[in-house]
Chains A and B, each alone.
Chain A
């Protein structure tokens, strides 16, 4: 079977049991942008993000045998591998200081909320990357570049009706994918 037809979980199991480089490369193609984006958001440093993303994928290869489908999705597992790699790298850049918890509470977002937002962003990026290219283009121009449908029509030299159709088709596909991934609620 073509590795491109396998689910993320099947690919990860192929990596774990067969040490299959083709399965690894398909995983890389599906997850490189979500993982790189996640790492960069945590580190806010392009150069460090390169190294940490590389290390995260190496960790995926090394630790694939630890993945168990019944314990969660491959996507959630990959998210955690990447997030931990980024957090470890962030920690390594600052010295440890002995001290106590702060007296004054921080009114910023809770760690739980931050992590949930990171996970949602990760899953959305994975879902967008799973779209056919022509649908992905209109979604990215609309939601990431802030273009109107008329502007997208002009940018891509497509009839406005086609842009609207592709957008609607893409949103329906994203709803299905995100539903499957447990993100819709």
Chain B
């Protein structure tokens, strides 16, 4: 890319980016307290969700889908359709079901290096429309914890490989249909059988 092209691209990015919001002056103090010593630091369990094979983030590779981006983030968000599925021996399997024959299985593998692999296989769940996606949740001590987001293929299938924190204790698991960015409602589409 020439210097001229680089400048054009930077200008394009700057123009497409909304102005950042001014950070409230008091936020640093409360964030510091919450992180380093305040009660908020103890409020939630640590949840780390990672993907098995995580590439370094690169926008050029994002054309392949958001799964790449989320995987690189190595945290709690993965969106993917028919992702790579390195097999592992399931220690436990959870079955979920919804209407119109929709179903899913969630395999949990052995804990290793602080994480536990999880393989979600979804069947007969119609693809979420444009601007919609599916999200799997866990109930962890009364908190809703997002585990993974995904969409299904035209056949209604999806396979997503991710992981949860090895010591996460959860009480329930379900899948919702979500509208991107709006936060204006979610619908449970799969729940434990």
Binding site for B on A (CB under 8 A): 21, 24-25, 28, 32-34, 36-37, 40-43, 46, 49-50, 53-55, 57-63, 65-68, 70-73, 75-77, 79-81, 83-84, 87-88, 90-102, 104-112, 114-117, 119-121, 124-125, 128-129, 139-140, 143-145, 168, 171-172, 174-175, 178-179, 181-185
- Kindly state whether residue B31 has any CB partner on chain A within 8 Å: yes
Main secondary structure of the interface of A (DSSP, over half): helix
A54 CB contacts on chain B under 8 angstroms: 27, 30-31, 34, 40
- Kindly state whether residue B3 has any CB partner on chain A within 8 Å: yes
B28 CB contacts on chain A under 8 angstroms: 25, 28, 32
The 13 sampled A-B contact pairs (Cβ below 8 Å) are A33-B20, A53-B27, A65-B48, A66-B75, A68-B54, A71-B51, A71-B72, A84-B76, A84-B77, A93-B183, A101-B177, A101-B189, A106-B179
Q: How far is the CB of B71 from chain A (nearest CB, A)?
A: 7
B interface bracket (residues with beta carbon within 8 Å of A): 35 or more
Of the listed stretches B6-14, B88-96, B104-112, name the one at the interface; the rest are far from the partner chain. Answer: B6-14
B11 CB contacts on chain A under 8 angstroms: 143, 171
Q: Besides the contacts A98-B188, A115-B79, A182-B56, what 14 more A-B pairs have beta carbons closer than 8 Å?
A: A54-B40, A57-B31, A67-B74, A70-B54, A81-B75, A96-B186, A96-B187, A111-B149, A143-B17, A172-B7, A175-B6, A175-B9, A175-B10, A182-B60
